[in-house]
C-alpha cells in the first residue's frame, strides 16, 4: 500500500541518520521503534494523521498535538527536543526556510489579538506565574534564584536603569497585571500609570492597587497606548512591542517619544528575532506561534529596533541581551505548568491546555537555541545628556 511504502521510507531515512528515542503506535496495532529506549510515544489514529509524521515541521506537529490528531505521550521537554530532531533529520539537517509574515494592525485587530492571549483567565495564569504575575523575562543573579526573586529583580533592574526618582511620573505601556507600576510607586515613590488593552489584566491590576491603598500614586487604564496623552519623566514598555508590527515600529517609538519629557528616559524590553531579516523562529515554530499563541505577533531584529528608535528621535544609550534569562524563566513556567497540569486542565478546554503546555516548553527551547532573543534598550531623546557617564548607577 502507498502509506506503507511512505512510512517505510520515512523510518529508513530517520534510522539511517540518527537514533531518535521515539516509538510510533499505528491504528492497526503495529509498533515502530526508532531507538532501543523510547522517551516519547506517538499514537497515530488513522492513515490521514500519518502525514504529520512523515512530512514533519514544527507547526505541523504542533497542530497535530493541539488538535488531537496525534496523541503524544512523554515529558514535554522530551517532546520538544525529539520533535525538533525529527524535523531537522527529515530535512537532512539543512536550515529550514522560515516564512515571513506581515500583518495589518489596528486598534480593533490588536485588541482582539491581546484578548485572545491574555484573557484566558487570571486564575489560569496565577497558577504558574510568580506571586506578582509578571508575564515577562525574569532577571537571575544566580542559577538558584527562585522565579519570584528573579521577577522582582527584573523590575528593580528596569527601574534602576531608568533612574526612577521619588515624585517622577512613570508610564508603563502594556502593564500586565500591574507589578511594575505597583513597585514603582511603593519602593521608588513614583507616580505611576499603566495602560493595557487586556480587560482581565486591567481589572486585576485595579483591584491590587485599591487593596494596597495606592490610588493616590498608582493608576491603571484600559487604554491603547496610541490614545495616551501628556508627558512622563520615565516610560517603560515590557513585553509589548511584539504586538505592534514591524511596519508600525516607527509610529510606536515616535508616539512614545512624544510622551517623553525632554530630560526623560525610556526603556523598551521585548522579544527580538535572531534573524537579521526579522523572520520568526525556524522549522515552522514561528508559524505555530502565529496561529495558536500570539496572533499577529511580529519580531524585529535588534538592528531594526535600533534603527526605528533612531528614526523616531530616540538615542539608544544602553542595550542588554537577556536571552539566557528568558530561557530560564520559561523553564520555570513550564515546570510549574506541568506541576499544576491536573488543575489547569479543569480551567480550560483540552485544546488550550495543550497550546500553553507546548508553547511554554517550546519557547524555552527556542531561546536556548538562539532562535529568538530578547533585548532591553534604554534611550533618551536624541542629543540629550541625561544619564551618568558610566553604567555604575544601575548596580548601586
Q: Which residues belong to the active site? A: 363
* Ramachandran class of 296: left when φ > 0, alpha when ψ lies in -120 to 50, beta otherwise: left
Classify strands 191-196 and 169-173 as parallel, antiparallel or unpaired. parallel
CA 346 to mean position of chain CA atoms = 24
d(CA 336, CA 340) in angstroms, rounded, equals 6
Burial-class residue 167 by CB neighbours within 10 Å (0-12, 13-18, 19+).
exposed
* CB-based contacts of 209-218 (< 8 A; 24+ apart in sequence): 209/178, 209/181, 209/182, 212/182, 212/186, 214/182, 214/185, 214/186, 217/185, 217/189, 217/190, 217/191, 217/192, 218/178, 218/181, 218/182, 218/184, 218/185, 218/191, 218/192, 218/193, 218/194
d(CA 119, CA 62) in angstroms, rounded, equals 22
Triad 70, 362, 172: Cα angle to 5°: 130
Burial-class residue 97 by CB neighbours within 10 Å (0-12, 13-18, 19+).
exposed
Task: Read off the C-alpha cell for 131.
Answer: 506571586
* DSSP string covering 325-345: HHHHHHHHHHHHHHHTHHHHT
CA 325 to mean position of chain CA atoms = 12
Please identify which residue in the block is written with the cell numbers 521503534.
Answer: 33
Q: What is the side-by-side order of every strand in the sheet holding 22-26?
A: 31-33, 22-26, 40-44, 71-73
Q: Is 147:165 a contact under the CB 8 Å cutoff?
A: no
d(CA 137, CA 329) in angstroms, rounded, equals 6
Q: Is 178:122 a contact under the CB 8 Å cutoff?
A: no
Please identify which residue in the block is written with the cell numbers 523572520.
Answer: 279
Amino acid at each position: 500500500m502507498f502509506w506503507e511504502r511512505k512510512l517505510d521510507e520515512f523510518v529508513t531515512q530517520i534510522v539511517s541518520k540518527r537514533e531518535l528515542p521515539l516509538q510510533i503506535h499505528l491504528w492497526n496495532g503495529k509498533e515502530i521503534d526508532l531507538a532501543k529506549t523510547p522517551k516519547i510515544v506517538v499514537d497515530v489514529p488513522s492513515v490521514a494523521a500519518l502525514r504529520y509524521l512523515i512530512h514533519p515541521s514544527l507547526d505541523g506537529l504542533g497542530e497535530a498535538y493541539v488538535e488531537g490528531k496525534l496523541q503524544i505521550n512523554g515529558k514535554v521537554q522530551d517532546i520538544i527536543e525529539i520533535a525538533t530532531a525529527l524535523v531537522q533529520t527529515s530535512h537532512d539537517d539543512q536550515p529550514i526556510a522560515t516564512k515571513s509574515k506581515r500583518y495589518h494592525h489596528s486598534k480593533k485587530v490588536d485588541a482582539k489579538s491581546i484578548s485572545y492571549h491574555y484573557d484566558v483567565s487570571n486564575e489560569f495564569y496565577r497558577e504558574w506565574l510568580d506571586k506578582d504575575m509578571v508575564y515577562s523575562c525574569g532577571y537571575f543573579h544566580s542559577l538558584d534564584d527562585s522565579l519570584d526573586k528573579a521577577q522582582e529583580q527584573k523590575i528593580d533592574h528596569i527601574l534602576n536603569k531608568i533612574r526612577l526618582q521619588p515624585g517622577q511620573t512613570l508610564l508603563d505601556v502594556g502593564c500586565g497585571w500591574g507589578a511594575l507600576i505597583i513597585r514603582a510607586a511603593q519602593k521608588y515613590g513614583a507616580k505611576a500609570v499603566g495602560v493595557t488593552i487586556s480587560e482581565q489584566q486591567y481589572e486585576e491590576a485595579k483591584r491590587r492597587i485599591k487593596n494596597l491603598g495606592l490610588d493616590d500614586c498608582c493608576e491603571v487604564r484600559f487604554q491603547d497606548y496610541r490614545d495616551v496623552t501628556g508627558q512622563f519623566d520615565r516610560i517603560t514598555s515590557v513585553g509589548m512591542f511584539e504586538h505592534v508590527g514591524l511596519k508600525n515600529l516607527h509610529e510606536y517609538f515616535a508616539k512614545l517619544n512624544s510622551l517623553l519629557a525632554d530630560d526623560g528616559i525610556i526603556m523598551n524590553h521585548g522579544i527580538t528575532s535572531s534573524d537579521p531579516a526579522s523572520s520568526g523562529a525556524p522549522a515552522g515554530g514561528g508559524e505555530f506561534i502565529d496561529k495558536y499563541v500570539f496572533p499577529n505577533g511580529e519580531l524585529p531584529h535588534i538592528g531594526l529596533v535600533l534603527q526605528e528608535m533612531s528614526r523616531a528621535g530616540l538615542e539608544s544609550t544602553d542595550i542588554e541581551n537577556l536571552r539566557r534569562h528568558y530561557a530560564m524563566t520559561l523553564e520555570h513556567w513550564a515546570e510549574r505548568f506541568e506541576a499544576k497540569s491536573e488543575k489547569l486542565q479543569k480551567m480550560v478546554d483540552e485544546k488550550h491546555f495543550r497550546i500553553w503546555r507546548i508553547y511554554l516548553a517550546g519557547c524555552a527551547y527556542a531561546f536556548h537555541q538562539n532562535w529568538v532573543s530578547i533585548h532591553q534598550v534604554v534611550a533618551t531623546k536624541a542629543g540629550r545628556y541625561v544619564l551618568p557617564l558610566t553604567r555604575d548607577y544601575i548596580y548601586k
